[in-house]
Amino acid sequence: MYMFCSELAQWLRGLFYTNKVRLVMTLLVRDEVDIIDENIKYHLENGVDMIVVIDNGSKDGTRDILDKYVKKGVLFYEVEDNHTFEQDKWVTRLIGIALKKYNATHVINCDADEFWTSKYGNLKRSIAENYFADIIKVGVRNFLPPISKKSKGFRSKDFKYYVAKTVLCPGEVEKRISGDLLRYEYPEKIITSRKITSIGYGNDSVNSKVPIKEVKSESIFIRHYPIRSYSQFRGKVINGGSSYRKNPTKNPSIGWHWKRWYDIYEKGDLQGEYRKLCLSDSLKELLLSGVIKRSK
């Protein structure tokens, strides 16, 4: 009875506070032309009011797409030419813009390959259920790259399989296997409130000197498409791997997979790594075991 009353109260709270949510999304992008237009369009159609972006020196047409949405008045971006991928510093800067310039009540700190999905079709409605939380945690679902030799550009309908049963990522960096990345359990991402002004690496932790209230959203999950075509993967490895080598943070766990992939790229075996990430050789077995499921 208590659980029913609690769920009913949450549902009613969601209805009441939806119109009070002012939702701004942050993005860091570099050469995301294959996916960025669909990402922006999707989130604007699902409750995001404004998008603030740092473009890290894109050269593939990404900035032309950003300009299109600037003209519509729904996107603001700055250019950061230093290829050091200081994610925590840059996203914290964007959060400041979201709060001060665009009066956000809540901020989604998104990546170009993430699609934040609400069961209501409206992220504001889901956020309103936990309106008074300082942080709302959101689970991540990794999709496998399409089994195709040619890239047709990003189309979410082409991604037919996702990882349903994950494994824990080893704590020791040297024990992690980069080819198993999509099977590792990803940390929950977070939606932040006005109380939060500083965020850590990975968009999954915050810097706060005061106690914070955290809740897990039961109505939002993230569709994650980190590996798409081979050409996209190769470009991201070159950009990401070289940037992490210049990153001033010396923590070996930060960007470990990008560093590993860049080493593999320099050794000339990146295609072999891509095949491992696709899991195509063991797909039937993984489907039968329930590790991989077909997307509806």
Ranges 64-73, 209-218, 244-253, most confident: 64-73
Instruction: Answer yes or no: are the C-beta atoms of 93 and 67 closer than 8 Å.
Output: no
Taking only the tens place, the pLDDT of each residue in 228-249 is 989 999 999 999 888 888 888 8
The strand pair at 75-79 and 161-163 is best described as unpaired
Q: What letters, b where the CB count within 10 A reaches 16 and e where it falls short, cover 10-42? A: beeebeebbeebbbbbbbbbbbbbbbbbbbbee
Domains of the chain, by residue range, sit at: 2-294
* Domain 2-294 part of CATH 1.10.357: no
The dihedral over CA atoms of 253, 184, 108, 113, expressed in degrees to the nearest 10, equals 100
Q: What does the alpha-carbon distance between residue 189 and residue 254 come to, in Å, rounded to a whole number?
A: 16
Look at residue 84 in the predicted model and tell me its pLDDT.
84
Structure tokens at 70: 């600037």
Instruction: Answer yes or no: are the C-beta atoms of 33 and 65 closer than 8 Å.
Output: yes
Q: Phi/psi zone of residue 186: left (φ > 0), alpha (ψ -120 to 50 degrees), beta?
A: beta
Look at residue 280 in the predicted model and tell me its pLDDT.
84
- Candidate from 14-28, 137-151, 164-178 with smallest mean pLDDT: 137-151
